[in-house]
Amino acid sequence: MNLDEYKSLSDIQIMGKVGEYDSKALEELYNRYSPILYSLIKKIVEDKTKAEEVLADVFVLVWKKKNSSNISDANVYTWLITLARNKAVDIRRRDDNSAEGMPEYNDDYEDYFIIPRLSESIDALDLNKALSVKDNIEEALNKLTDAQKFVVFLAYYEGKTQSEIAKQLNIPVATVKSKIKLSLSNLKQNLVSGE
Amino acid sequence: MSNMESMELLQAKALGCLDPEDDALFTKLMKEDENFPWQELGHYQNLVAFLPTLLDIEVPEPEVKDEVARKLSEHGEKDKAEKDEDVNQNTIAKESEIEEDGFIIDEEPVETAELPKVGGDLAKVDNIDNGISIKGHEVPLQDLLNDEKKVMQEPLIKQQQGKTETKTTPTKPKKEFEQKKVKSYVTEFPAGVADSEGSKSKSGLIVAVILFVVTLLAVIFVYFNLSSDIQENRDKIDMLERQIGTKIMLENTSINKIFIT
């Protein structure tokens, strides 16, 4: 099977082949996902070279964890996006001087904090489908208030926890919690009503 | 109550911004709560994963792919080294187990009186000694067992002479036993087979010589047969050439006549 034939395979099929130690499948997965993962990582770590390193690490992790029980067979897209986000946030937090008390990076840490644990009953989603609803997502996000958008941004792209956001904005943690809850509920509602 | 707690934390979990204590609580709920809202969590995880689609998508430099390949290669080598180390450790562990076995053999005498009875049932027994198939080989296995008896008894005798002597080399009896087992297979069991194999090789040589001679004769016969045919054909060709020559001479004569006339 040549590389062109892999292009016709679905994300799930590709991931299945990666699980069978098929390096061409990993290459196809890289070709498909590296642009969006790289863009996401670069947005988080804010450095080109570092983003490239993290991207490479993410694909090594995919290869390493290909037979892990945590790997999602049904939803490759969300699994990969979450993995890349977790890894990039970890690098950002470790580089940040304020994160001195972070635990040692070892296999246990990686399994718990970096490797995503997706819901047992998550809907299937692949890259093409995700990109096809991009406009709807943008529309749904634009309907949020600036404050809601900002907490989502701080949490997702800056990797801040709820208490860190509260500290940064000088507001109670409970307020941040309710804002985050409301932001995502509204985003979901807006997306459903926009479709 | 736990379901409500889960619902409170769902969005923040999906967004990846739970504080460590909340995250620990959420993980606990995931494991223990029978009514955990898995579907809701799935919806929010997918929703959050949509966010990067809004970014300006950039393609990484081609070198990054090479970097992935390099890191994978490194990982493979590291993995291999770890596996080798595991194998070494397992080997050491097995050796220590053998040593312990050796100790047990030294300390527990073998009931030799029961051994002849075993011979009668040998054909029915499989894997009597760590995977050695003995089905249908009563005599050699009996030899094996006799050897085993001898070897097992040796350390006991030594132990009686002085316990330190046997305990300093606890693996030796086992190793000797293994060696003897191999020897008994090589010397006793295949003895008849070795003879028959020798006679087989002799008869094979005779057959090969006969075949060679027959082939040689056939070649000679074919050669002479063909050469006589060739001679016969040459004679025929000569005769035909002579006939043709005569005809051509006659025809040339007549053609010359035409030109002349």
For A32-57, write each residue's pLDDT tens digit. Answer: 999 999 999 999 999 999 999 999 99
Within an 8 Å CB–CB cutoff, is residue A141 touching chain B? yes
Interface contact flag, A36 B55, Cβ < 8 Å? yes
Q: Is residue B40 part of a domain?
A: yes
Q: Give contacts of B16 with chain A, Cβ < 8 Å.
A: 82, 85-86, 89, 155-156, 159
**Each residue's pLDDT tens digit, A138-186:** 999 999 999 999 999 999 999 999 999 999 999 999 999 999 999 999 9
> How confident is the model over B150-209, as pLDDT tens digits?
444 444 334 444 443 333 334 444 444 444 443 433 333 344 444 455 566 778 889 999
Q: Are residues A78 and A174 in the same domain?
A: no
**Looking at the structure, do residues A115 and A69 belong to the same domain, yes or no?**
yes
Q: Are A152 and A126 found together in one domain?
A: no
Q: How far is A36 from chain B (nearest CA, A)?
A: 6
> Phi and psi dihedrals of A30, rounded to 5?
-65, -45
Nearest-5° Cα angle at A120, A117 to A125 = 85
| Same domain (yes/no): A28, A121 | yes
| A51, A83: one domain | yes
Q: What's A110's DSSP letter?
A: I
Per-residue confidence at B252, pLDDT binned at 50, 70, 90?
low
pLDDT band at B256 (very low <50, low <70, confident <90, very high): very low
- Domain end marker among B14, B34, B58: B58
Judge contact between A16 and A73, C-beta under 8 A: yes
Judging contacts by C-beta atoms under 8 Å, the chain B residues touching residue A127 are: none
Q: Is residue B78 part of a domain?
A: no
Q: Which of the four pLDDT bands, split at 50, 70 and 90, describes residue B231?
A: confident
Residues of B in contact with A78 (CB under 8 A): 45-46, 49
Rounded Cα distance, B138 and B166, in Å: 32
Residue A50 and residue A95 share a domain: yes
Minimal Cβ distance to A42: which of B48, B53, B58: B58
List the structure tokens of B107.
């300390």
Name which of A72, A184, A185, A187 to mutate to probe chain B: the one with the most chain B Cβ atoms within 10 A of its Cβ.
Answer: A184
Please check whether residues B54 and B95 belong to one and the same domain: no
CB atoms within 10 A of CB B41: 25
* Co-location of B50 and B95 in the same domain: no
Q: Which of A82, A128, A184 is nearest to B47 (CA)?
A: A184
Asked if pLDDT for residue B135 goes beyond 60, the answer is no
Averaged confidence pLDDT in chain A? 91
A115 and A175: one domain? no
Give the A window 81-140 contacts with B, CB below 8 Å.
81-82, 85-86, 89, 117-123, 125, 130-131, 133-134, 137-138
Last residue of a domain, one of B189, B206, B235: B189
* Rounded percentage of chain B residues whose pLDDT exceeds 70: 48
Q: What does the pLDDT read at residue A49?
A: 96
Measured between beta carbons, which residues in chain A are less than 8 angstroms from residue B59? 34-35, 38
| Mean per-residue pLDDT of chain B | 65
For residue range B86-108, list pLDDT tens digits in order.
666 666 555 544 443 322 323 33
If asked whether residues A120 and A159 sit together in one domain, one would say: no
Q: Does the residue B73 lie in any domain? A: no
Residue B199 gets the label, from left (phi > 0), alpha (psi -120 to 50) or beta, of alpha
Greater confidence (A42 vs A101) lies with: A42
Which CATH number is A48's domain given? Answer: 1.10.1740.10
In a domain, B117, yes or no: yes
**Would the CB atoms of A177 and B16 count as touching at under 8 Å?**
no
The verdict on a CB contact (< 8 Å) between A130 and B53 is yes
Contacts of A180 in chain B (CB under 8 A): 11-12, 15, 17
Which contacts (CB < 8 Å, 24+ apart) does range A157-164 have? A157/A43, A157/A44, A158/A44, A158/A92, A159/A44, A159/A88, A159/A89, A159/A90, A159/A92, A159/A93, A159/B16, A159/B17, A160/B17, A161/B17, A161/B18, A161/B19, A161/B20, A162/B12, A162/B17, A162/B18, A162/B19, A162/B22, A163/B19
Domain that holds residue B37: 1-58
Same domain, residue pair A141 and A91 = no
The answer for residues whose C-beta is within 8 angstroms of residue B36's C-beta and 6 or more apart is B3, B6, B29, B30
Residues A81, A147, single domain; the answer is no
The answer to whether B54 contacts A138, with C-beta atoms less than 8 Å apart, is yes
Q: Is the ipTM of this complex over 0.90?
A: yes
**Same domain membership, residue B101 and residue B30:** no
**Cβ of B60 and A55 within 8 Å?**
yes
How near does any CA of chain A get to the CA of B85, in Å?
A: 18
Q: A76 touching B, CB under 8 A?
A: no
User: Which residue did the predictor score with more confidence, A122 or B183?
Assistant: A122
Same domain, B21 and B95: no
Q: Which residue has the higher pLDDT, A34 or B142?
A: A34
What is the per-residue pLDDT for A173? 96
pLDDT tens, residue by residue, A19-31: 888 999 999 999 9
Calculate how close chain A gets to B61, using CA atoms only, in Å.
8
Mean pLDDT of B238-248: 82
With respect to residue B105, please indicate whether it lies within any of the assigned structural domains.
Answer: yes
Interface size, chain A vs chain B, as Cβ–Cβ contacts under 8 Å: 158
Q: Does B115 share its domain with B175?
A: yes
> CB contact, 8 Å: A24 with chain B?
no
Residues A76 and A166 in one domain: no
In a domain, B24, yes or no: yes
For B51, nearest residue in chain A (alpha carbons):
A137
Asked if B72's CB is within 8 angstroms of A60's CB, the reply is yes
pLDDT at residue number B87: 66
Whole-number pLDDT of residue B88 = 67
| Total domain count, chain A | 2
In this prediction, residue A65 carries a pLDDT of 85
Domain that holds residue A146: 134-195
A27 chain-B contacts, CB cut-off 8 A: 65
In B, minimum Cα distance to A118 occurs at B42
B153 within a domain of the structure (yes/no): yes
Domain end residue (candidates: A83, A103, A132) = A132
3-state secondary structure (DSSP) of residue A34: helix
CATH of the domain at A185: 1.10.10.10
pLDDT at residue number B93: 57
Which residues on B lie below 8 Å from A63 (Cβ)? 72, 75
Indicate the number of domains in chain B. 2
* Closest B-chain CA to A62: B72
Give the domain-ending residue among B9, B35, B58: B58
Q: What does the pLDDT read at residue B245?
A: 78
CB atoms within 10 A of CB A169: 16
Instruction: Tell me the range of A93-97, B4-8, B29-33 where mean pLDDT is highest.
Output: B29-33
Q: Which residue has the higher pLDDT, A102 or A195?
A: A102
Q: Is residue B22 part of a domain?
A: yes
Residues in B closer than 8 angstroms to A188, CB to CB, are: 43-44, 47
Do A18 and A59 touch, CB atoms closer than 8 A? no
Query: Do A71 and A22 have their domain in common?
Result: yes
Q: Do A118 and B45 touch (CB under 8 A)?
A: yes
pLDDT tens digits, one per residue of A60-93: 999 988 777 656 567 899 999 999 999 999 999 9
What is the model's pTM?
0.61
